[in-house]
Structure 1
Amino acid sequence: MDRTETLMKEFTEAPGVSGFEGEIAGLMRSHLSKVADFETDRLGSVVARLRAGKKGPRIMLTAHMDEVGFMVSHFTSRFVRFNKMGGWWTPRMVGLPVTVRTAKGDVRGVIASKSPFFMDEEERKKVPKADDLFIDVGAVGGKGPESLGILPGDPVIPDFPFTVLAGGKTYLAKAWDDRVGCVMVVEALRRLAKAAPPNAVFGVGSVQEEVGIRGAVTSGALIDPDVCIALEVNLAQDIPGSAEGRPEKLGGGVSIYVYDATLIPNSRLRDLAVAVAKEKKIPYHYSALPVGGTDGGKVQLNRHGVPTIVIGVPTRYIHSGAGIIYRPDYDAALKLVVETVRKLDAKRVKGLV
């Protein structure tokens, strides 16, 4: 594995559902300690200020640390009931291996449902409800999950290893949303540290994005940025059943958002990113998503407003137990972010509005 793959393995395999992002925060601190100084907001978002930066415009690069997952709610006999943390489609949950994080240690299990062999024809036609699902941790006899140290409020994380697929350039892992952005923050700050940019750069690992984009509000208030670039996944649509002809695909380069449900990107900042992509011969495409939101949607509303764009890496099967990205798309996104930040001097930032 090269350094980027090693980072991706560390970040995707680490547990960190919404509200429990501490291990991811620790990774960000560890990997940026040589180039940045740190602050933490009161919700737990990590803010790394690049030491090589100057006193110019305050540039915020943000990625959320939390992944979709679950939380223990109560018990039914020998089984664990749970709440969803983030957006899940229930058919993707059935059969999903999970790990319950308890004060006494990890407990592995699987999300299960009533067996289809015991369903009538009408039941089989229906999409199962999340309330009908449960986690089986292998408890038998008179002992319930409590005997294993499981308590209400414990986080539950999908269980899947980082895997390099055939060809060596496609990666399968859980939590790409948004650990791919976290890795990009780390690598972007490392690159920018080699030659001081004309601005003050802040790399952020935000918390609780999947349950209401919360850490973006608090970290944005802490930094008070002049510009924000949100580093995210994007919905790859090169799979059966998706819309034909969409540009969001593995091998399509970096996604430059032109719209999502929470953000209309600053047009001049967006156009700058496009110009940089053309100048540096970085493969890119435009992306407009009618659903979903990112940290950028909240940061843009800080104080008097913040010019904001979203840069994405096309990803298959987000908000599931595992997804797939293509390394050259990530490399394109990273290069675009770094080269765009290098262009954001005081004069250019002033001209964004």
Structure 2
Amino acid sequence: MDDFVQLLKKLSEARGPSGFEDEVREVVIKEMEPYVDEVVVDRWGNVIGVKKGASNYRAMVAAHIDEIGLIIDHIEKEGFLRFRPIGGWNEITLVGQRVWVRASDGRWIRGVIGSTPPHVTPSGKEREAPEIKDMFIDIGASSKEEAEKIGVVIGSIAVLDREFAVLNGKVVTGKAFDDRVGVAVMLYTLRQLRDLPVTLYAVATVQEEVGLRGAQIAAEKINPHYAIALDTTIAADVPGVGERLHITKIGKGPAIKVLDGGRGGLFIAHPGLRDHIVKLAREAGIPYQLEVLYGGTTDAMAIAFRREGIPAATISIPTRYVHSPVEVLNVEDAVNASRLLKIVLERTTPDIVDKFLDKKVK
């Protein structure tokens, strides 16, 4: 358990918004290389670890390394930085936060997110959350020229400045658990794997938060026979939320997704693969939850509809306060997700895969 916590901490504290995942990618490569036969980085920055199995059937496991972030689109003459979101933010989580801004030479500099003080806000609007367009980053510069001298340019990126911490026992908090915990589960599983019935492609994907981009590219290249995405899911098991809307609860085991999606369309996990995962969880005595989530999706959606269609499913880690700097999860859920993934990869033989593909059993 402690080694998983240290792995998650390292990944969580790395900085890498969508399209700028370099720092996280280096951590992943270092952690992945000892446990696979080959590591490839594709043109868009996906990290693909290949672990050879007993057959040429291909399994793909995907977990995204990017986090939501900010990008500078204007520098005020007084030195304040205006920004736009990279990915989906709730404005209320940004007010008063500290951030890291990456300078043009690669250095990270500190700043804070400011907005109009309530003391000078028009009457009746003091307690309203400002919109992102009205916020700015203060790096202590007194002019645009000083900000540029420090190294900030249009297109500089920023992420929230937040350390990983243990709250109580196995419950931890930090930024970017979406989806560094999925990446940690994938890497931790690689450490445990021995003989595999199929060849595994473990993919740390990029740009999930802006449209599942990296998974599409990787799936086209790999053309797997089946795929599993690893990601966080909503745990709304907090005061003021009715039980039906909890979706999942932390500490009750990983979630096996049945359905997710929203206005962009729904994703229904491949029934055969989903039922196979449920069966293996039951046989191994691994606690699990079934998940139906209206709102948000994972790399599985992007993978499933490549080529002729790929059986795809998702194993999720219940997480509170997703897309905030204080995401919370129970490490035991993540470790159990790793146990489940290991069993699925080791026991999904070519004849079982053929059933997903509607082929005759060889």
TM-score (norm 2): 0.93
- Aligned twin of 2:251: 251
Counterparts of 1:226 and 1:259, CA distance in 2: 21
- Aligned twin of 2:96: 95
Extract unaligned runs of 5+ from structure 1: none
The residue matched to 1:47 in structure 2 has which SS?
strand
How far 1:271 sits from its partner (Å)? 0.6
How far 1:28 sits from its partner (Å)? 1.5
Q: CA contact under 8 A between 1:80 and 1:136: conserved in structure 2?
A: yes
- Aligned twin of 2:220: 221
How far 1:182 sits from its partner (Å)? 0.7
Counterparts of 1:115 and 1:5, CA distance in 2: 39
- Aligned twin of 1:349: 353
Counterparts of 1:65 and 1:160, CA distance in 2: 17
- Aligned twin of 2:187: 186
Taking a change above 3 Å as real, the CA distance of residues 47 and 13 of structure 1, as seen in their structure-2 partners, is: same
How far 1:55 sits from its partner (Å)? 2.4
What do residues 194-232 of structure 1 show as CA deviations (whole Å, max 9, x unaligned)?
x21101111101000101110011111121111110000
Q: CA contact under 8 A between 2:234 and 2:247: conserved in structure 1?
A: no
Taking a change above 3 Å as real, the CA distance of residues 330 and 273 of structure 1, as seen in their structure-2 partners, is: same
- Aligned twin of 2:161: 159
How far 1:170 sits from its partner (Å)? 0.8
Farther off after superposition, 293-302 or 38-47? 38-47
Quick one: which amino acid aligns to residue 27 of structure 2? L
Counterparts of 1:26 and 1:222, CA distance in 2: 22
The residue matched to 1:198 in structure 2 has which SS?
coil
Counterparts of 1:301 and 1:98, CA distance in 2: 37
Identity across the alignment (%): 35
How far 1:125 sits from its partner (Å)? 5.2
Counterparts of 1:187 and 1:300, CA distance in 2: 24
Aligned length: 349
- Aligned twin of 2:136: 134
Structure 1 residue 57 and structure 2 residue 61: aligned?
Answer: no
How far 1:35 sits from its partner (Å)? 2.1
What do residues 110-158 of structure 1 show as CA deviations (whole Å, max 9, x unaligned)?
1111111111233235432110010011113685421211111111011
- Aligned twin of 2:30: 30
Runs of 4+ in 1 over 6 A off after TM superposition: none
How far 1:249 sits from its partner (Å)? 1.1
What do residues 226-284 of structure 1 show as CA deviations (whole Å, max 9, x unaligned)?
11100000111111232325351111111111001142101111111111111111111
Counterparts of 2:297 and 2:220, CA distance in 1: 19
Counterparts of 2:325 and 2:3, CA distance in 1: 24
Taking a change above 3 Å as real, the CA distance of residues 48 and 80 of structure 1, as seen in their structure-2 partners, is: same
Q: Pick from 290, 295, 302 the counterpart of residue 298 of structure 1.
A: 302
Counterparts of 2:42 and 2:241, CA distance in 1: 39
How far 1:320 sits from its partner (Å)? 1.1
Counterparts of 2:90 and 2:5, CA distance in 1: 29
How far 1:166 sits from its partner (Å)? 2.3
What do residues 57-111 of structure 1 show as CA deviations (whole Å, max 9, x unaligned)?
2110000000011111111122001110110010111011100011331110111
Counterparts of 2:88 and 2:291, CA distance in 1: 21
Counterparts of 2:30 and 2:110, CA distance in 1: 28
Q: CA contact under 8 A between 2:188 and 2:338: conserved in structure 1?
A: yes
Q: CA contact under 8 A between 2:80 and 2:144: conserved in structure 1?
A: no
Extract unaligned runs of 5+ from structure 2: none
